[in-house]
Amino acid sequence: MFRTQQSRSGNDLRFSLLILPGLRRAGMVVRLLMCSVLLLALTALSGKLSEAQAAGSTAGKHRAASSGAKGRNRSVRKKAALPAKARTPARGRRRGRAAAAAAAAGATAATAAAVASPATSATAITTNTKPELLPRCGFTEASRRHIFSRGVYVLDEETNTPLFERNADTVAPIASVTKLMTAIVWLDQKSLPMANRLEVTEDDLDNLKFTHSRLNVGASLSRADMLHIALMSSENRAAAAMSRDYPGGRPAFIAAMNARAQALGMPHTHFENGTGLSPENVSTPRELAELVKAANRYQLIRNDSLDKQKIINIGRGQLQYINSNRLIRYGQVNATVQKTGFINESGHNMVLRLLVHDRRPVIVTMLGSGTADGSRLDGVRIAKWLNCSLN
């Protein structure tokens, strides 16, 4: 019997060693499965709670909107119960809102019209824009520093707009630019037979600067030729003979020149003689623009000042004259009137009435260049600015 019990105990021990670990593993698997099921249940429950909260929120909004609508309805009913005088401000506000809406609609329509017609707007802008010299055309600070003339005035005659000025109101000697006024006053005589001959006398000699002339005393020229070489070649004795050939003589002629300057609106301009050899013949670049305008009204002045060369019969032979302005002589600019001038006190001067693109008049006056080439180069530079910048 003792052996039988002992064998049973041994069997139970073996059973425990074999079965118990398996049961432990099964328990762990069961616990894992239960945890998974629990997690799934919690996830499903949280989803339902979220849906419920969302539904409650939407319902709240609907209720708020409904209550707001009911509130508005009650307000409308209360307003309807008010007397007519109490409702008047509300109508005024409605009319104000209607007027504002109409104004906004009008502004929108105006904007649409502006967008729909860009060509018309561009035309209006172009029309109201004043002409100007453009940096892309070389009109820069550095380029302006290379202008040699001390006094400059550039005027767009079409719009009366100054395009560039430097010391434009500084009074300075103008030298032979004077001859434009000499020609104007001389041509204003009522009876002036241009074919009649005019003789050079000793009264026409330069006793101020003692300049030389190819016209000797005794030379006889037609009045037309005297005017021609005075303007084209700046012949001083021709200009002196013209100022002497005037009713009342040379003093009356000088008085007429100064009176004409005042009539043209040139208060700072003054003349002492008809040649420009006197340093007391003075003006400003701005006022000389008025002189150029006046000279341009005379066909003879336009033709003679722009002629490149001419052979003159002086009675005892012939003389050939050329234009003293190299810009004109070599066709570097297109102009309708020009005149140059030089004395030591003034430096080299030049005035021009240019035709930009052969049609747009621009007046250029330049005083006080140190050299003749400086004055010529100023004219070329300014002409390039104008041709590029203006239409």
User: For residue 314, how far is the Cα from the chain centroid?
Assistant: 52
* Phi, psi for 63 (deg, rounded to 5): -65, -40
Whether the Cβ atoms of residue 261 and residue 181 lie closer than 8 Å to each other: yes
Please, what's the b/e burial string for 143-156 (b: 16 or more CB within 10 A of its CB; e: otherwise)?
A: eeeebbbbbbbbbb
Q: What is the dihedral of CA 52, 58, 61, 63, to 10 degrees?
A: -70
* Whole-number Å distance between alpha carbons of 178 and 339: 9
Helix residue ranges, H only, 245-284: 249-263
**If you ran DSSP here, which 8-state letter would residue 270 be given?**
B
CB 306 within 8 A of CB 192: no
Are the beta carbons of 289 and 363 closer than 8 angstroms?
Answer: yes
Positions marked active-site: 176, 179, 234
Strand 347-356 and strand 360-369: the pairing is antiparallel
Main-chain dihedrals φ then ψ at residue 323, nearest 5 degrees: -70, 130
CA distance 327 to 336: 12
